Structure 1
């Protein structure tokens, strides 16, 4: 049975250096299939998206860079003012509630 690592330089390199680097397929899995290999390829060409290493034909994404990129695209929502549960119950029953 032939060794598949010999046919994919990225997987062979990742096997040697450990889990700190992900192949494009592993990046796709990390983002639950919401990115495609084509999207990653286009981003590399345009020099946008997460940073990567290219060693020969192998494309590798450092986990730390993916974490950094996650933080850079993080969307922060403003919090809404909510009333305490007891106040909401009184309002729904028609009782007058004082503002806090």
Structure 2
């Protein structure tokens, strides 16, 4: 997951999908945000799908993407920063 998110374009794509109205976004909604070709954006979305971060569905000629809830939860757990005196985010044995 982190390898997929290491690219700034993919991180931005994930953020755009997550913040889009209804929690899902069409490629046609995302593409104008970037100075990239549609095939390049589709490639980045495919990488995010392969990493298990996004899922999608074709509706007519467009593909709609949304964040996989379990993946978002895993990222949240891993990125949970421990507060002083807390063991949140730490693995103990």
TM-score bin (small chain): 0.3 to 0.5
TM-score (norm. length: structure 1) = 0.35
**Greater Rg over alpha carbons, structure:** 1
- Kindly indicate whether structure 1 or structure 2 has the higher relative contact order, using CA contacts under 8 Å at least 6 residues apart: 2
TM-score (norm. length: structure 2) = 0.37
Higher normalized helix content (fraction of residues): 2
